[in-house]
Amino acid sequence: MTNTTTLTPVEPAAAGSAAKRPGRRAGTVGGDSREMVRLRRFMLTPMTVILLGLTAFPFAYSLWISLTDRTASGGGDFVGLRNYADLFGNDQFWHALRLTLVFCVVAVGAQIVLGFLVALGLNGLRREHRLLRAALILPMAATPVAVLFGWKVLLDPSQGVVNWLLGEIGLPQPDWLGTPTMAMVTMILVDVWMWTPFVVVILLGALGGLPAETIEAAHVDGARWAQRLRYVVLPHIKPFLMLALLFRGIDSLKAFDSFQVLTAGGPGDATTTLNMLAYRTGLQFLDFGKGAAVSTLLLIVAIVFGKVFMRFMRREARA
């Protein structure tokens, strides 16, 4: 007796329909993806054009002006790199570059160190944490020009409150903004007062994300406070330290409002940084070509700093 097994054949139409379904799905997904890409490009195009108009065009125009001899009395002929050659041969340019670098290194270094110490102190607080954080960010939140005019009144050598208090306790009363060395020291102190809270806010967020179990484990293992700080805390917040250093470094290179309000680049040229030199040359002496050249060189210094710093950060991340 022979057993026969009956197989139900698959209809060609059904098989063809099943075979086409995945293809249609893939095509639909691909179509949706292409439509989304087109939609994103369409929505980003207006903002991209606006940003290019606000950044690329002014930069290109400034670069062109730096290659001409344009002044308030006329000119505008193409002179190539003559403005840059004149600047490189001018002692005032090198003096301004040196002051810019000194201000950047000392002010930003002090902000990083003080910001780190203040963040460590605030991180251990509970109830007072929010109140103190709000109080600390007031210098950064206030209008810079208004704050700077306030400092100018406070530091007045004859009527300022600071010198009056120093005299009351028998300390010397310096001319904060009237002598070359003290003027630059004052500029650094004011910048540290204004922008240390920025570093504090960044590092407080970093310290808040540090796992408490890691600290407790290091403490149980017998690690002292300095060892916990070096081997546990610093490696965790190092990327945030680098970020704060990058932001503050670039911002201090182009500092202008504090110098203009407090010293106007003086006394003499004791606080004439590159940004102040560009302002004096281009807008006070009306030598637009050389003023634009100073601005371009300042931009190059900021770009080089950013590139070197980013390369250092990548190397540290690989290590």
| Residue 318: band (very low, low, confident or very high) from pLDDT cuts 50, 70, 90 | confident
Q: Which of 165, 194, 162 is nearest to 259 (CA)?
A: 194
Residue 2 and residue 14: Cα distance in Å, rounded? 32
Considering the domain boundaries, does residue 84 fall inside one?
no
C-alpha 244: how far from chain center: 7
Is 20 part of a structural domain of the chain? no
Which one has a higher pLDDT value, 260 or 235?
260
Q: How far apart are the C-alpha atoms of 175 and 186, rounded to whole Å?
A: 10
Of the pLDDT bands very low, low, confident and very high (cuts 50, 70, 90), residue 5 is very low
Task: Name, in order, each residue with C-beta under 8 angstroms of 97's C-beta and a sequence gap of 6 or more.
Answer: 274, 301
Q: Report yes or no on 212 lying in a domain.
A: yes
Q: Say how far apart CA 298 and CA 311 lie, in whole Å.
A: 20
For residue 78, give the 3-state DSSP assignment: strand
**Is 69 within the bounds of a domain?**
no
Across 26-35, 100-109, 135-144, which has the greatest mean pLDDT?
Answer: 100-109
Closest C-alpha among 171, 167, 152 to residue 259:
152
Find the range with the poorest average confidence among 6-20, 56-70, 157-171, 238-252.
6-20
- Give the model confidence (pLDDT) of 240-249 as tens digits: 999 999 999 9
Residue 117 sits in which domain range?
90-318
Cα distance between residue 49 and residue 56, in whole Å: 10
**Average pLDDT, integer, range 222-231:** 80
Angle at 298 between CA 85 and CA 255, to 5 degrees: 140
pLDDT for 167-176, tens place per residue? 999 999 999 9
Residue 185 lies in a domain: yes
| Rg of the chain over all Cα atoms, to the nearest angstrom | 31
8 φ/ψ angles, rounded to the nearest 5 degrees: -85, 115
**Is the pLDDT confidence value at 108 over 90?**
yes
DSSP string, 152-206: HHHT-TTT-HHHHHHHHTT-----TTTSHHHHHHHHHHHHHHHHHHHHHHHHHHH
How many angstroms separate the Cα of 311 from the Cα of each of 241, 281, 307, 308?
Answer: 15, 34, 6, 5
pLDDT at 126: 61
Mean pLDDT of 213-218: 76
Over residues 4-14, the mean pLDDT reads: 45
Considering the domain boundaries, does residue 263 fall inside one? Answer: yes
Mean pLDDT of 11-40: 58
Amino acid (1-letter code) at residue 51: L
Beta-bridged to residue 71, according to DSSP, are 74
Mean pLDDT across 172-184 = 92
Mean pLDDT of 21-50: 72
213 in a structural domain = yes
Region 70-81: mean pLDDT is 88
Domain tally, the chain: 1
Does residue 125 belong to any structural domain of this protein? yes
277: CATH: 1.10.3720.10
Other Cβ atoms less than 10 A from the Cβ of 241: the count is 17
Q: Whole-model pTM above 0.85?
A: no
pLDDT number for residue 32: 65
Determine the Cα–Cα distance for residues 14 and 8; give it in Å rounded to an integer: 13
Share of the chain above pLDDT 90, in %: 50
Question: Which of 50-54, 124-128, 238-242 has the weakest average pLDDT?
Answer: 124-128
| pLDDT score recorded for residue 214 | 75
pLDDT band with cut points at 50, 70 and 90 for residue 231: confident
Q: Work out the pLDDT band at 52, boundaries 50, 70, 90.
A: confident
Residue 8 has pLDDT above 60, yes or no: no
Range of weakest confidence among 85-89, 94-98, 137-141, 250-254? 137-141
